[in-house]
């Protein structure tokens, strides 16, 4: 949620050193804070052996998503002359991400 709010805030800031520093702190803390829980969730879901490999695939997917977002923002900038819509879309897309809880299955009694 903090990531989405940070992205929505950025185009409305005055781009001073203070406002950009505030954006960087909040966006950066939220970004780094997702790594340990993701490692744990993948290890719990895929086991000690396969969890780290799955996490690496997740980590490899992030640059692909970032590249896609950068291209999309560039297309918006080229067509509209500004990045405002790209930041708003990115912020709301981040806010729309929801966590779903799946009940763990229990093995049948033998």
Over the stretch 31-58, which tens digit does the pLDDT of each residue have?
A: 777 788 889 999 999 999 999 999 999 9
Over the stretch 3-15, which tens digit does the pLDDT of each residue have?
A: 788 888 888 899 9
- Residue 8 contacts by C-beta under 8 Å, 6 or more apart in sequence? 87, 88, 91, 92
* Predicted local distance difference test score (pLDDT) of residue 74: 95
* Predicted local distance difference test score (pLDDT) of residue 106: 53
- Structure tokens that stand for 77 in this block: 């900038």
| Reported pTM | 0.55
Whether 82 has a pLDDT exceeding 80, the answer reads: yes
* Predicted local distance difference test score (pLDDT) of residue 103: 61
């Amino acid at each position: 949620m903090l990531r989405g709010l940070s992205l929505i805030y950025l185009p409305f800031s005055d781009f001073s050193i203070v406002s950009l520093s505030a954006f960087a702190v909040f966006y950066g803390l939220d970004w780094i804070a997702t790594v340990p829980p993701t490692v744990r969730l993948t290890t719990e879901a895929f086991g000690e052996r396969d969890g780290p490999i799955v996490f690496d695939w997740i980590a490899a997917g992030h640059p692909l998503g970032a590249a896609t977002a950068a291209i999309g923002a560039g297309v918006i900038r080229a067509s509209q002359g500004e990045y405002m819509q790209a930041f708003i879309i990115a912020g709301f897309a981040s806010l729309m991400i929801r966590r779903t809880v799946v009940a763990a299955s229990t093995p049948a009694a033998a």
